[in-house]
Amino acid sequence: MTEQPVRVAVLVSGGGTNLQALLDALHDSTLARVARVISNRPDAGAIGRARRSAVPTTILRDPSDAAELLAALEGMQLVVLAGYLKLVPAPVVSQFRGRMINIHPALLPAFGGPGMYGQRVHAAVLASGATESGATVHFVDEVFDRGAIIAQERVRIEPGDTPERLAARVLEAEHRLLPRVVLELARRIRE
Ligand code: GRF
């Protein structure tokens, strides 16, 4: 009997370019597939991307309701937070420990934590005088951006960088890194 692809749920709040990178990378994969997209926002661009790819979607009524999120995650084997801006309730974290990951647009543990999202991250990196930034994929635990780091891709800071320019280059790195990590974890889940 051939094994079924690992079922991946993606949680989103925004435009969903990382979701798109996953949809594109897993499209022909026998290893993993995006099986559900979950959002706290019905108007998130990511929801449109999911629908265009015929992936089932769930809009959360209350993102702090663990039972509601657990019901949406029924049957999922790996959970990816891709631009999801809400804290995942602790009972959900513990149910998916080691099988729930987040992507962050900086080199954690620096420039993470509550309020560190979007352009604020890149503005803080530039203001610090750092010479590099990057993308981090890490396991999710009970605290924003704190869980164990799985992989990072570094991005050099260029003279005259603005938060927008840096964000665009980091985002390209995210789109390479996230599918790579998801496929690697799916491989481990199938072993
Ligand atoms: C990405 O930079 C991600 O790292 C961060 O939010 C942004 C989401 O972008 N957590 P998108 O919705 O995937 O386009």
CA 22/CA 34 separation, integer angstroms: 8
Of 64, 58, 66, 55, which is closest to residue 33 (Cα–Cα)?
55
Summarize pLDDT for 115-135 with one digit per residue, the tens: 899 999 999 999 999 999 999
Q: What angle do CA 138, 139, 143 make, to 5 degrees?
A: 100
Residue 113, SS3? coil
* Side-chain-facing half-sphere of 58: CA atoms under 13 Å: 17
What pTM did the predictor assign?
A: 0.96
Active-site residues, by number, are: 104
Helix 17-26 / helix 163-190 crossing angle, nearest 10 deg: 40
Q: How many Cβ atoms are within 10 Å of 62's Cβ, its own excluded? A: 12
User: How confident is the chain (191 residues) per 10-residue block, as mean pLDDT?
Assistant: 89 98 97 98 98 98 98 98 96 98 97 93 97 98 94 97 98 98 97 87
CA 3/CA 111 separation, integer angstroms: 40
Q: Which atom of ligand 1 is nearest to the CA of 82?
A: 13
Summarize pLDDT for 82-96 with one digit per residue, the tens: 999 999 999 999 999
Compute the Cα dihedral for 9, 38, 90, 122 and give only its sign. Answer: positive
| Residue with CA at minimum distance from ligand 1 atom 12 | 16
Bridge partners of residue 101, in order along the sequence? 80, 139
Exposure b/e, 125-140, CB count within 10 A at least 16 = b? bbeeeeeebbbbbbbb
C-alpha 1 to ligand 1 mean position (Å): 37
Structure tokens at 24: 């594109």
Pocket test for ligand 1, best of 108, 171, 175, 181 (most atoms within 8 A of CB): 171
